[in-house]
Amino acid sequence: MFIQQLYTGCISEAAYYIESDGVAAVIDPLRDIEEYLDLARDRKATIRYIFETHFHADFVSGHLDLATATGATIVYGPGTVTKMPVHIAKDGEVFSIGKLKVEVLHTPGHTVESSCYLLKDEQGKDHALFTGDTLFVGDVGRPDLSQNITEVTTNDLAGMLYESLQKKIVPLADDIIVYPAHGAGSSCGKNLGTETYSTIGEQKQTNYALQPQTKEVFIKAVTEGLTAPPQYFPINARINKEGYESLEAVMEKGMKPLSVAAFKQRAGQDDMIILDTRNSDLFTQGFVPGSVSVGLDGRFAEWAGSLLPFDKPMLLVTEAGKEKETIVRLARVGFDKIEGHLDGGYEAWVKAGEKVDMIIDVEADELAMDIPFDPNLVIVDVRKEAEYASGHISEAINIPLAELTDPGSMANLDDNHNIYVHCAGGYRSVIAASLIKRQGIHNLRNVVGGWGKIKDLPGKFTIEKSAEVLN
């Protein structure tokens, strides 16, 4: 028996490779399938099954491309509705992988079709449970992500999840390993633990959702405090349900190098998005005017999916050699209208003598000195509402980064203000500054190091907390 967890940190996603006697299965694959193919090739195994725990909302699955490449059968659980060529399993159906068995446990709640896969070893003993988004380490899947697909309510799904956990998960043996689809940072739950695997016994002891409680108490616990999901979640869920263009085709278009002249001509189209994926400290020093900064060094795909339109064409500006990585990570969350990248990157643009833009970086102590003497100074804190509530500069207004795509979010900002933008550490504030500049507001500065530096200057700022939000 061979099991390997394939974890992708930037989107907090875990896929799994299982193998026995030269027969393999992959659970919840990403859109870029080379790693699974290479693993099977190196181990001289054949991928026979692709098990999907549900229609994922936070990434585009590689199920179709992997099935095309291997001839493997795509398996979904009961309740699945799709026109794709998949096998819809029955609850309790068993699949053979060499000497191993995989049993389907239908566990609706996160979505209607959500299912777990119980792996039995060569002796028939329950060994591991691949839980998808049904059960995480320290949490469970949120029940509000399926409403654009089904007619059931969030409370309906929460009730289903309670029944699934109590009837299918809690009765399992304590020593069974829990392999979830996500770890900390994922928006598919409220507060996932930092570990990427656990055991049934550990989760019975520590996971609030598996404690003895009534259904009513459980529903309240899993539905309270849910923040709005990223805007790309329903888009990805639809793509996974209906199908998509092959990654190979997306790569072929996106990897097209464009001269400065060709890039400039295409960038002039009204609906074109210019995405600059260089690190934020490079972006602030200079960039192609109108570019949006989302650096590869952060939660790149998640922020790109949350902030950029999927129906608009896109051009890329990347660091040399980062073109392929950029396109793959964009494709993971459903972007497929990438029309090429600037050949030679930003340096080529500068060398050609084209106009450039920049964002002024300032240190936190400079902001502190400017506050008392500048009546037009506006501090924009782009952290999440809960972060802002836990402590912020008293003069700051809170516009969470995810809300900056709303045209009304910047209604009270204009070039008469001296705008200082900050987040927690600097990544999100540069994204925000680039979005504000795209709206024609250029009198702004980025506070380097963000809240991390601000709170380390005691006495320089008046700090407030918002107790009503924290409660």
Q: How is the chain split into domains, by residue range?
A: 2-235, 245-351, 360-470
Secondary structure (DSSP) of 169-230: ITTS-TTPEEEESB-TT-TTSSS--S-S-EEHHHHHHH-GGGSS--HHHHHHHHHTTPPPPP
pLDDT digits (tens, 9 = 90+) for 69-79: 999 999 999 99
**In whole angstroms, how far apart are CA 355 and each of 257, 350, 469?**
20, 8, 44
CA distance 25 to 28: 10
CB 131 within 8 A of CB 75: no
**pLDDT over 70, % of the chain:** 98
Residue 150: what pLDDT? Answer: 52
Of 310, 353, 357, 348, nearest to 330 by C-alpha is: 310
CA-based R_g, the chain, Å: 24
- pLDDT at residue 99 greater than cutoff 60: yes
Q: What pLDDT score was predicted for residue 47?
A: 98
> Measured between alpha carbons, how far is 261 from 352 in angstroms, rounded to an integer?
9
Average pLDDT, the chain: 94
Q: Centre a 10 Å sphere on the Cβ of residue 91 and count the other Cβ atoms it contains.
A: 14
Rounded distance, CA 334 to CA 364, Å?
A: 37
CA-to-CA distance for 89 and 76, rounded, in angstroms?
A: 6
Dump the DSSP string for 106-129. E-TTSSTT-EEEEEE-TTS-EEEE
- Cα-based torsion angle of the residue sequence 425, 275, 58, 175 in order, rounded to the nearest 10 degrees: -50
Least confident segment among 71-75, 251-255, 317-321, 404-408: 404-408
Chain centroid to Cα 63, Å, comes to 18
> Is the Cα torsion angle 230, 231, 233, 236 positive or negative in sign?
negative
For residue 319, count other CB atoms closer than 10 A to its CB: 18
**37 Cβ contact list (under 8 Å, min separation 6):** 47, 66, 69, 70
Confidence of residue 467 (pLDDT cuts 50, 70, 90): low
Phi, psi of 63, deg, nearest 5: -60, -45
Of 76, 229, 206, the closest CA to residue 141 belongs to 229
Over residues 420-432, the mean pLDDT reads 97
Residues 97 and 20: beta-carbon distance below 8 Å = yes
C-alpha angle 69-75-80 in degrees, rounded to nearest 5: 125
Is the pLDDT at 312 greater than 60, yes or no? yes
Q: Is residue 468 pLDDT above 70, yes or no?
A: no
Q: What pLDDT, on the 0 to 100 scale, is given for residue 408?
A: 79
Task: Read off the pLDDT of each residue in 139-145 and give the average, rounded to a whole number.
Answer: 93
Cα–Cα distance between 458 and 183 in angstroms, integer? Answer: 35
Higher pLDDT, 415 or 330: 330
- In the three-class reduction of DSSP (H, G, I as helix; E, B as strand; rest coil), residue 72 is classed as coil
Same fold, 245-351 and 360-470: yes
Provide mean pLDDT across the span 68-97: 97
One-letter amino acid for residue 419 of the chain: I
| Higher local confidence (pLDDT), 408 or 45 | 45
Report the greatest alpha carbon distance in the chain. 76
pLDDT at 200: 98
Residue 191 has pLDDT above 90, yes or no: no
Instruction: In whole angstroms, give the CA distance from residue 244 to residue 246.
Output: 6
Q: Is the pLDDT confidence value at 419 over 70?
A: yes
pLDDT at residue 270 greater than cutoff 90: no
CA 235 to chain centroid: 13
Distance CA 140, CA 134 (A): 6
CA distances from 58 to 34, 98, 229, 324 (A): 20, 32, 9, 21
Instruction: Write out the CATH class of domain 360-470.
Output: alpha beta
Beta bridge partners of 4: 17
Q: Which of 3.40.50.300, 3.40.800.10, 3.60.15.10, 3.30.2310.20 would CATH assign to domain 2-235? A: 3.60.15.10
Q: What is the DSSP letter of 167?
A: I
* Predicted confidence (pLDDT) per residue in 339-381, tens digit: 999 999 999 999 999 999 999 999 999 999 999 999 999 999 9
pTM here is 0.92
Q: What is the DSSP letter of 78?
A: T
Superfamily of domain 245-351: Rhodanese-like domain (3.40.250.10)
Confidence of residue 151 (pLDDT cuts 50, 70, 90): confident
CB 380 within 8 A of CB 419: yes
In this predicted structure, the answer to whether residue 29 has a pLDDT above a threshold of 70 is: yes
Closest to 169 in 3D by CA, of 202, 145, 142, 144:
202
Per-residue confidence (pLDDT) for residue 409, from 0 to 100? 81
Question: What average pLDDT does this structure show over 15-30?
Answer: 98
Q: Residue 256 — very low, low, confident or very high, per pLDDT cuts 50/70/90?
A: very high
Structure confidence at residue 471 (pLDDT): 40
